[in-house]
Chain A
Amino acid sequence: AQTVTQSQPEMSVQEAETVTLSCTYDTSESDYYLFWYKQPPSRQMILVIRQEAYKQQNATENRFSVNFQKAAKSFSLKISDSQLGDAAMYFCAYRSASGATNKLIFGTGTLLAVQP
């Protein structure tokens, strides 16, 4: 069974600085998708960024980028120029591409605080 691990329960960053959130996963599959979701205090789950495992190029969305290391099964999220609105819980998630299932497997989350 696949698992997703986020080893940092909490992180803190100064406004305008850069922070990296860690995520590792375990799978025997070769093709899959990885996602980062943001959950602010409003409790919405907002998609931040996604990565296809077969693509070597790291995904980027404005100030958000990932460092995808397939061999190491690592998928970290980098937030550049942190803003107060980035404060939230961040979840890493895995989804198989096999077509047998469409379910997301989530990590336990990292609570990010942004200090002014």
Chain B
Amino acid sequence: DAGVIQSPRHEVTEMGQEVTLRCKPISGHNSLFWYRQTMMRGLELLIYFNNNVPIDDSGMPEDRFSAKMPNASFSTLKIQPSEPRDSAVYFCASSAPGQGIGQPQHFGDGTRLSIL
């Protein structure tokens, strides 16, 4: 079975540019999560969706960040305008229905983002 698919795997761009990260969750999973990993702050949840609806976006750092999930098989995380401090690895994860039985989150390979 295909896992969570993220693209691109690496992105290097100049500050001020718009960056769009993409994620395809595992088929049948109804929860989708965006995380950011940095040396300073570790793994932080940015936002998560349940059944395509944003549930908790309290981790989104500021208005420059936005996330969408137009359907069950696709999500985007957009940064506009990008800044050097946004450089990090961004992970997407998904989990199956069944909150009550502790469904684990399955992670994609991450996008390493470098803002020059």
Residues of A within 8 A of B (CB): 33, 35, 37, 42-47, 50, 52, 91, 95, 97, 99, 101-109
Contact = CB atoms under 8 A, between A and B. Distances in A.
A57 to B, nearest CB: 14
A27 to B, nearest CB: 15
B77 to A, nearest CB: 16
Nearest to B106: A47
B45 A103 contact: yes
Contact of A43 (B33, B42, B89): B89
A102 B48 contact: yes
A52 B99 contact: no
Contacts of B112: 43
A52 to B, nearest CB: 6
B55 A97 contact: no
A38 to B, nearest CB: 11
Interface residues of B, number: 23
A102 B95 contact: yes
B53 to A, nearest CB: 12
Contacts, number: 51
28 contacts: A33-B102, A37-B107, A42-B109, A43-B110, A44-B107, A44-B110, A45-B107, A45-B110, A47-B104, A47-B105, A47-B106, A52-B102, A91-B43, A95-B102, A97-B99, A97-B102, A101-B55, A101-B56, A102-B48, A102-B50, A102-B99, A103-B33, A103-B48, A104-B33, A104-B45, A104-B105, A106-B42, A108-B42
A99 B99 contact: yes
Given A45-B107, A106-B43, 4 more contacts: A47-B106, A50-B102, A102-B99, A103-B56
Interface in B62-90: 89
